[in-house]
C-alpha cells in the first residue's frame, strides 16, 4: 500500500507526501470523507466549533534546512490523534507551532478554526494544556514549587503562582490531585518526585485550566512499566470524564490507547501516512515506516509491535 492510496482510504483523505500539490485554500472544503481525494483540504468553509487543528502545506526551515516539507493535517472534534515518527522526523517542531513557539515558514495553520497571523494567539495558548517529557526551560522553576502549587498554577497558565489563590481553585486542585493519586505528595517539592509522579502532577496541572486541547509530548518516556500504565489509564479516564481532545506524541506503538482514534506517521518532515488507526497501524505501513519487518498484534484494543 502506498502513502497515496492509504490517504484515499483514510477518513481524512489527506496526505502531504502524496498528491497534496493541488491543495488551495479556496477550492476545497472541511469535513472530508473517505471519498475525498488527497487533494481535498479545505479552508474556505471553517467549522470553528468542530475544527481543532488545520495544517495546510506547512513548511519549516531552520538554518536553511527544510525540517517540515509541506505538511497537511486536519484534526476535528471527536478525534484523538497519535503522532508517530522516528527521531528527528519533525514531530516536536509540528506541535510547537500550536502555541506558536515555532512559526511556520510557509503554509496555513489554524487552531480552533482561527488562522495564525490573523488572531490574538494568546487566546489560543490559554486554551491548551501540555504535558511533555522535555521541560528543560521550566524545570528549575517547577523544582522549587510544591506539588499542590504546580497543579494550582495550571489554572493561571503560569509556571509559579503570582496571585492570591481563590479557595475554589485550591479545592479543584486538591480534587484533581486525589483523582491522580498525588494527594499525599501535595506538600512535597516537585524536584523530589519520581518521574511518574511528576508526569501525573503535570497532567493534573494541564487539566486545571480545562483546556480545549491537550498536547501530550512523549509523556511516558523514562517511565517504568507500572508508571507508564498508570499514566495511560489516567489519560483514558480523563477522556471519559472531561472529553478533552488530545494529541499524543510517542515512539512507542503500544502507548496508543483505545481512546486514540487516528494516527499520523511523520517521516523526514513529511506526513507519510495518516488516517484511522486501524487503517494505519498495519504490518505493511509500520514495516515501511521503520524500514524493518514488523508484525502488529492487537490485544485489548491496543496495538503491540513484534519485530520479525
Q: Pull the grid cell for residue 45.
A: 468553509
Considering the rule CB under 6 A, would residue 87 count as an interface residue with ligand ATP? yes
Between the CA of residue 305 and those of 164, 250, 251, 293, 298, what are the distances in Å? 49, 14, 12, 10, 9
Query: Which C-beta is closer to ligand ATP: that of 89 or that of 131?
Result: 89
Q: Of the ranges 46-54, 85-93, 185-193, 295-303, which one interacts with ligand ATP (CB under 6 A)?
A: 85-93
Minimal distance, residue 134 CB to ligand ATP, in Å:
8
- Interaction mask 65-84, ligand ATP, x per CB under 6 A: --x-----------------
Check the CA dihedral 96-208-187-220 and report its sign. Answer: negative
Q: Which residues of 150-168 are buried (b: 16+ CB within 10 A; e: fewer)?
A: bbbbbbbbebebeeeeeee
Q: Would you count residue 293 as binding ligand ATP (CB under 6 A)?
A: no
List the interface residues with ligand ATP, window 25-64 (CB under 6 A): 62
Instruction: For residues 253 and 236, give the distance between their C-alpha atoms in angstroms, rounded to a whole number.
Output: 16
Residue 92 touches ligand ATP, criterion: CB under 6 A? yes
| Position 252 contacts ligand ATP (CB under 6 A) | no
Tell the smallest beta-carbon distance from residue 247 to ligand ATP (Å): 13
**Interface region with ligand ATP, contact rule CB under 6 A, candidates 41-49, 87-95, 111-119, 252-260:** 87-95
Q: Which of 85, 154, 211, 303 binds ligand ATP (CB under 6 A)?
A: 85
* Of the candidate residues 89, 128, 131, 272, the single one contacting ligand ATP (CB under 6 A): 89
Q: Give the nearest distance from C-beta 253 to ligand ATP in angstroms.
A: 14
Radius of gyration in angstroms for the set of CA atoms belonging to the chain, rounded to a whole number = 19
Interaction between residue 91 and ligand ATP (CB under 6 A): yes
Distance, in Å, from the CA atom of 205 to the CA atom of 217, rounded to the nearest integer, reads: 15
- CB of residue 133 to ligand ATP, shortest distance in Å: 9
Q: What are phi and psi of 167, to 5 degrees?
A: -55, -35
Residue 124: left (phi > 0), alpha (psi -120 to 50), or beta?
A: alpha
> d(Cα 2, Cα 44) in Å, to the nearest integer?
29
Q: Is 137 in the site for ligand ATP (CB under 6 A)?
A: no
Give the binding site for ligand ATP (CB under 6 A).
62, 67, 85, 87-93
Amino acid at each position: 500500500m502506498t502513502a497515496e492510496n492509504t490517504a484515499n482510504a483514510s477518513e481524512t483523505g489527506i496526505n502531504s507526501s502524496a498528491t497534496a500539490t493541488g491543495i488551495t485554500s479556496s477550492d476545497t472544503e472541511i469535513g472530508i470523507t473517505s471519498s475525498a481525494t488527497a487533494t481535498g483540504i479545505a479552508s474556505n468553509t471553517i467549522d470553528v466549533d468542530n475544527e481543532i487543528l488545520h495544517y495546510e502545506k506547512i513548511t519549516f526551515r531552520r538554518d536553511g534546512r527544510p525540517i517540515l516539507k509541506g505538511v497537511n493535517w486536519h484534526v476535528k472534534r471527536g478525534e484523538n490523534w497519535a503522532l508517530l515518527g522516528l527521531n528527528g522526523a519533525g514531530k516536536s517542531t509540528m506541535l510547537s507551532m500550536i502555541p506558536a513557539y515555532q512559526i511556520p515558514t510557509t503554509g496555513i495553520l489554524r487552531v480552533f478554526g482561527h488562522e495564525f497571523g490573523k488572531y490574538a494567539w494568546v487566546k489560543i495558548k490559554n486554551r491548551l494544556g501540555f504535558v511533555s517529557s522535555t521541560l528543560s526551560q521550566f524545570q528549575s522553576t517547577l523544582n522549587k514549587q510544591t506539588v499542590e502549587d504546580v497543579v494550582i498554577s495550571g489554572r493561571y497558565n503560569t509556571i509559579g503562582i503570582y496571585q492570591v489563590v481563590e479557595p475554589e481553585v485550591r479545592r479543584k486542585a486538591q480534587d484533581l490531585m486525589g483523582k491522580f493519586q498525588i494527594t499525599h505528595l501535595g506538600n512535597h517539592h516537585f524536584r523530589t518526585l519520581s518521574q511518574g509522579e511528576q508526569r501525573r502532577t503535570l497532567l493534573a496541572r494541564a487539566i486545571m485550566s480545562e483546556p480545549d486541547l491537550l498536547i501530550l509530548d512523549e509523556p511516558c518516556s523514562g517511565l517504568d512499566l507500572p508508571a507508564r500504565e498508570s499514566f495511560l489509564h489516567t489519560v483514558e479516564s480523563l477522556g471519559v470524564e472531561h472529553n478533552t481532545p488530545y494529541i499524543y506524541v510517542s515512539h512507542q506503538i503500544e502507548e496508543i490507547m483505545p481512546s486514540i482514534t487516528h494516527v499520523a506517521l511523520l517521516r523526514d518532515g513529511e506526513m507519510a501516512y495518516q488516517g484511522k488507526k486501524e487503517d494505519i497501524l498495519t504490518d505493511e505501513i509500520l514495516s515501511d515506516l521503520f524500514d524493518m519487518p514488523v508484525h502488529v498484534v492487537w490485544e485489548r484494543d491496543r496495538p503491540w509491535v513484534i519485530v520479525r
